[in-house]
Structure 1
Amino acid sequence: MSVAAAQADAFYREFLADDVVFTVKDDGGYPQPFNGSGQRAQPFWSKRSRAQRIVDTVPDYAVFEVVEIDGDRWREHWLKILERDGVLVGLNWSGRGATGYDLTPSEVLRNLAARQRLSE
């Protein structure tokens, strides 16, 4: 399993257990950088410590602060807006380049629903 796949797996597991996500923001708002495919993606992490590690170790993220978002609000509000705007969801980006899987909001919701069914 690749690092990105392991991080995505951890994202789903931890989100379903804790029902909270974390992102980062600065005075200009929430970052939505372009990924390697030329699409915008907004990063989200399943643990505060994962997001903080990126802020602490990736120079481009040093200006950001970690923000907590309730799981229901993330699913009902954030993902709908990202879908409308064509922005991908970055799952537990990690490493020196803060990279990982970028999926559409609908793919993330579908994957969460499938994992939730498996755990019931």
Structure 2
Amino acid sequence: MSVSAAQSAAFRKEAPAAGHVWTILEDDSYIAPHKPDGSRAMPFWSRQSRAQSVVDQVPAYSGLEIVAIPFDAWLRDLVPWLAEQGVLIGVNWSGERATGYDVSPQDILGWFAAPEGTPSQSTEGS
């Protein structure tokens, strides 16, 4: 399994369990860097420590602010908005160049859809 595949699998397991995802802000705005093909991807991490590692290792992200977003709000509000904007979702980017899988918002929604007949993973009210 590649590092990117392992990071993606970790994201799918850890994010719902943590109840949050983490991203980084630059000047109070979310970042969504352009990729070589012209598309954009907004990074999210399943643990604060993963985001901190990128901020510490990648010069372009040095000193940027790490923020937590409640998992349910992210999935309900931000992921569909990113789909409308045509922005991909970077999951658990890592390493000196902050690389990893960039996934469509539709795929993210599919990852976390509750199977029919089972309750969703919502933690609202708890």
Distance 1:30 1:99 in 2: 17
Matched letter for residue 27 of structure 1: D
* Matched residues, number: 116
Corresponding position: 1:86 with 2:86: yes
Aligned residue runs from structure 1 range 1-120, under 5 A: 1-27=1-27, 29-113=29-113, 117=115
Shift of 1:80: 1.3
1:28–1:18: structure 2 CA closer, same or farther, 3 Å change rule?
A: closer
Query: Computing the radius of gyration over CA atoms, which structure comes out larger, 1 or 2?
Result: 2
Shift of 1:19: 1.9
- The answer to which structure has the higher helix fraction is 1
Q: Which runs of 5+ in 2 are unaligned?
A: 119-126
Q: Which runs of 5+ in 1 are unaligned?
A: none
Q: Deviations over 1:55-95 (max 9, x none)?
A: 11100000311000001110111111100000000000001
**RMSD value over aligned CA atoms?**
1.4
Alignment TM-score, normalising by the size of structure 1: 0.90
Alignment TM-score, normalising by the size of structure 2: 0.86
Matched letter for residue 69 of structure 1: I
Q: Which moved more, 1:19-28 or 1:94-103?
A: 19-28
